[in-house]
């Protein structure tokens, strides 16, 4: 895999970007680079994106050129080894009042609501990164036949812990938020708790399974 | 205790931000003008990172139940302490029971201002969450009950680092940052100039749009808030090809261009990742000007490289060192 494209993101951050499309193998290299860079003295924070990584550094400790050199030096030695991801099970109450858009997803995909639920909960999802909201996981692995465009009119307040489909992605809203995803269910599991020792449930590399706790069609 | 009698447009407890958690999707937030909060804190002997209040568009009233010492930074909004004028960037003793009042901003008149930061000796004493006392308004945690302040809220104050004599000392002031760094008050700058480095997607924009970025006068629309300043220009910015972008990290100062072509400059409460092209990034040293730039005010964006950005940052650090030295020679505790 050739070295990432490097570009300044302002005067104290460096973007490292791999070419599209995003793949799990490329994301694993991003995770590996993040692990390395976290130990560099001048690096304050690492911020994984989809297929990319932003390194926030202290210019008083290292110039951008030095950080670039470190990235390019370590890159050939990185391997796309899977990180110690955990299996996380998320029980979901599908449909009914918790999944107001399940019927719309069924209509769009040409599947029955029961089949949408079966395929969604049958999938195996890998967390690529957290972003957008505290604890919100960008996950790969939605069965392609379930892809449904976002709603034309976003909701002003999606209930916390709603499970949804947005385009080719699926995910869970950790908190009440405006949102345009198709809501197919809801979980009781907290994805974000600021007072907990580990405030966010999911981490990059985790494998997520949704399990139907109840189905209300 | 201090009591919020009138919060104004948006008052919240903020310190220098909640850092180190972007990987979890938690934005840093904090005072949008970290220079202002740092100055206000130093003026009352606080550590730089003590929690203060961020006030928006004045129009607020705060009563101090105990004798204390305060400093206001940013715009003073004709501040008065029990009717007597209180100047920004001054360290001022407060007697028990006194009330601080900030007047209102009049959008569209000559009074152009947006935000102020109030430090109280000892700092606002709320429990830190994830290492910070800042309020995360979007996610509803931190600060005072995770929300904007409202009438009737009572806030505890921590123990001051100043001794009794220092607390009671006559009011004194600092050379304000806009005068020190730019030689003129921020309120007189029109347009306000922000120095910007080209962003990762700068080259995706048409040659005409690249020129427009630097030449245009950008108006700050009323839709601007702690998440970002939404700008409006006469000519929308366009890319040569409309390509969907994969989610990528964004930081305060990032200038995103959504499909409308009207840029948004992200600020402390913005999401940690975004999918819109980033045409530029405002340099760290100029973020404080953006935090104070008034609604309906105008901005001009000027291109700089990393060297120019570092020079600007060094100038700001020099100013802060001068402030620290000045306060130290006046007997104040060392900056923390």
- Per-residue model confidence as pLDDT tens digits over A48-75: 999 999 999 999 999 999 999 999 999 9
pLDDT at A84: 78
Average pLDDT, chain B: 95
Contacts of A2 (CB under 8 A, 6+ apart): none
The Cα–Cα gap between B68 and B160 comes to 9
Instruction: Find out whether A139 and A126 touch, Cβ atoms under 8 Å.
Output: yes
The Cα–Cα gap between B114 and B158 comes to 27
Residue keyed to tokens 């935090």: B291
- Per-residue model confidence as pLDDT tens digits over A2-25: 899 999 999 999 999 999 888 999
B128/chain A closest Cα distance in angstroms: 10
Beta strands in chain A (DSSP E): 5-8, 13-17, 43-48, 52-57, 87-95, 125-130, 137-140, 155-158, 162-166, 169-172, 177-179, 182-186, 207-216
Search chain B and give the residue with CA nearest A50: B247
Best of B243, B249, B314 to substitute, by most chain A Cβ atoms within 10 angstroms, is B249
Cis peptide before B191 (omega within 30 of 0): yes
Q: Does B102 have pLDDT greater than 90?
A: yes
Contacts of B253 (CB under 8 A, 6+ apart): A10, B265, B266, B281, B282, B283, B284, B286, B287, B290
Q: Does A79 have pLDDT greater than 90?
A: no
| pTM, entire model | 0.95
Q: Does A188 have pLDDT greater than 80?
A: yes
- List the structure tokens of A204: 């990059």
Is the ipTM beyond the 0.90 threshold?
yes
Q: Residues for chain A: how many in total? A: 217
Q: Does B149 have pLDDT greater than 80?
A: yes
Q: Is B271–A133 a contact, with Cβ atoms under 8 angstroms apart?
A: yes
Contacts of B310 in chain A (CB under 8 A): 11, 59
Q: Does A152 have pLDDT greater than 90?
A: no
Degrees to nearest 5, angle at CA A134 with A131 and A140: 40
Q: What are phi and psi of B93, to 5 degrees?
A: -75, 145
A66 interfaces chain B, CB cutoff of 8 Å? no
Please report the residues numbered 67 through 106 in chain A whose beta carbons come closer than 8 angstroms to any beta carbon of chain B. none
- Per-residue model confidence as pLDDT tens digits over B166-189: 999 999 999 999 999 999 889 888
Q: Is B251–A9 a contact, with Cβ atoms under 8 angstroms apart?
A: yes
The Cα–Cα gap between B129 and B105 comes to 33
Which long-range contacts (C-beta less than 8 Å, at least 24 apart) are formed by A149-152?
A149/A108, A150/A180, A150/A181, A150/A182, A151/A101, A151/A104, A151/A180, A151/A181, A151/A182
- Reduced to 3 states (helix: H, G, I; strand: E, B; else coil), residue B150 is coil
Tell me the pLDDT band of A102, cut-offs 50, 70 and 90. Answer: very high
Instruction: Find out whether B197 and B287 touch, Cβ atoms under 8 Å.
Output: no
What average pLDDT does this structure show over A184-207?
A: 96
A28/chain B closest Cα distance in angstroms: 15
The phi-psi region of residue B183 (left if phi > 0; otherwise alpha if psi is between -120 and 50; otherwise beta) is left
B30/chain A closest Cα distance in angstroms: 16
A103/chain B closest Cα distance in angstroms: 28
Instruction: Find out whether B146 and B140 touch, Cβ atoms under 8 Å.
Output: yes
Nearest to A50 among B25, B129, B246 (CB): B246
Q: Is A10–B142 a contact, with Cβ atoms under 8 angstroms apart?
A: no
Selection from A192, A194, A166 nearest residue A178 by Cα: A166
Contacts of B313 in chain A (CB under 8 A): 11, 59
Contacts of A35 in chain B (CB under 8 A): none
Search chain B and give the residue with CA nearest A51: B246
The Cα–Cα gap between B98 and B90 comes to 17
A137/chain B closest Cα distance in angstroms: 9
Q: Is A45–B23 a contact, with Cβ atoms under 8 angstroms apart?
A: yes
Q: Count Cα atoms within 13 angstroms, Cβ side, for B27.
A: 29
What average pLDDT does this structure show over B145-160?
A: 98
Instruction: Find out whether B295 and B107 touch, Cβ atoms under 8 Å.
Output: yes
Per cent of chain B over pLDDT 70 is: 98
What average pLDDT does this structure show over B282-289?
A: 98
> What is each CA distance from B222 to B13, B74, B203, B249, B267, in whole angstroms?
23, 19, 29, 26, 15
Contacts of B282 in chain A (CB under 8 A): 10
Per cent of chain B over pLDDT 90 is: 93
Q: How far is CA B332 from the centre of its chain?
A: 24
The residue with greater pLDDT, B245 or B28, is B28
pLDDT at B108: 52
pLDDT at B111: 55
The Cα–Cα gap between B4 and B62 comes to 5
Tell me the pLDDT band of B107, cut-offs 50, 70 and 90. Answer: low
- Reduced to 3 states (helix: H, G, I; strand: E, B; else coil), residue A118 is helix
- List the structure tokens of A61: 């400790």
Cα end-to-end distance, chain A, whole Å: 46
């Amino acid at each position: 895999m050739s070295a990432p494209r490097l570009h300044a993101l302002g005067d104290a951050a460096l973007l490292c970007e791999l070419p599209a499309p995003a793949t799990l193998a490329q994301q694993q290299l991003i995770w590996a680079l993040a692990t390395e860079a976290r130990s560099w003295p001048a690096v304050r924070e690492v911020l994984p994106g989809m297929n990319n990584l932003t390194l926030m550094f202290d210019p008083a400790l290292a110039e951008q050129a030095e950080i670039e050199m470190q990235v390019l030096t370590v890159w050939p030695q990185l391997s796309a080894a899977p990180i110690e991801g955990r299996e996380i099970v998320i029980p979901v109450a599908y449909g009914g009042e918790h999944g107001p858009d399940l019927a719309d997803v069924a209509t769009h995909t040409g599947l029955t609501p029961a089949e949408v639920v079966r395929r969604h909960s049958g999938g195996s999802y890998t967390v690529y990164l957290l972003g957008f909201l505290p604890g919100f996981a960008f996950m790969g692995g939605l069965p392609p036949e379930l892809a449904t465009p976002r709603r034309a009119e976003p909701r002003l307040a999606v209930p916390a812990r709603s499970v949804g489909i947005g385009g080719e992605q699926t995910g869970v809203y950790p908190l009440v938020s405006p949102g345009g995803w198709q809501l197919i269910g809801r979980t009781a599991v907290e994805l974000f708790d600021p007072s907990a020792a580990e405030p966010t449930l999911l981490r990059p590399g985790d494998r997520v399974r949704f399990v139907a706790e109840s189905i209300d069609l | 205790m201090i009591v919020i009698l009138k919060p104004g447009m948006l008052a919240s407890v903020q310190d220098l931000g909640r850092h180190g958690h972007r990987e979890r999707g938690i934005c840093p937030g904090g005072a949008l003008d970290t220079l202002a909060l740092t100055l206000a804190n130093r003026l009352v002997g606080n550590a730089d990172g003590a929690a203060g209040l961020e006030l928006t568009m004045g129009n607020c009233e705060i009563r101090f139940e105990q004798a204390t010492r305060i400093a206001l930074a940013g715009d003073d909004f004709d501040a008065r302490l029990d009717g007597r004028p209180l100047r920004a960037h001054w360290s001022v003793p407060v007697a028990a029971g006194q009330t601080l009042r900030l007047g209102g901003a009049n959008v569209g008149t000559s009074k152009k201002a947006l935000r102020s930061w109030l430090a109280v000796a000892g700092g606002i004493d709320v429990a830190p969450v994830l290492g910070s006392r800042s309020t995360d308004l979007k996610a509803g945690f931190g600060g005072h009950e995770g929300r904007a302040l409202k009438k009737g809220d009572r806030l505890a104050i921590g123990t001051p680092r100043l001794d009794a004599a220092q607390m009671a000392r006559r009011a004194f002031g600092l050379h304000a940052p806009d005068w020190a760094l730019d030689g003129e008050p921020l309120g007189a700058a029109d347009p306000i100039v922000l120095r910007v480095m080209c962003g990762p997607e700068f080259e995706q924009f048409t040659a005409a749009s690249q020129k427009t970025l630097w030449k245009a006068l950008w108006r700050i629309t009323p839709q601007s808030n702690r998440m970002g300043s939404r700008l409006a220009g006469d000519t929308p910015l366009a890319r040569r090809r409309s390509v969907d972008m994969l989610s990528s990290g964004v930081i305060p100062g990032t200038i995103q261009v959504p499909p409308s072509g009207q840029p948004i400059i992200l600020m402390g409460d913005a999401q940690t990742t975004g999918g819109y092209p980033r045409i530029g990034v405002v340099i760290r040293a100029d973020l404080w000007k953006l935090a104070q730039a008034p609604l309906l005010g105008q901005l001009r964006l000027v291109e700089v490289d990393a060297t120019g950005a570092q020079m600007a940052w060094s100038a700001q650090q020099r100013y802060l060192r001068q402030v620290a030295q000045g306060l130290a020679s006046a007997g104040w505790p060392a900056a923390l």
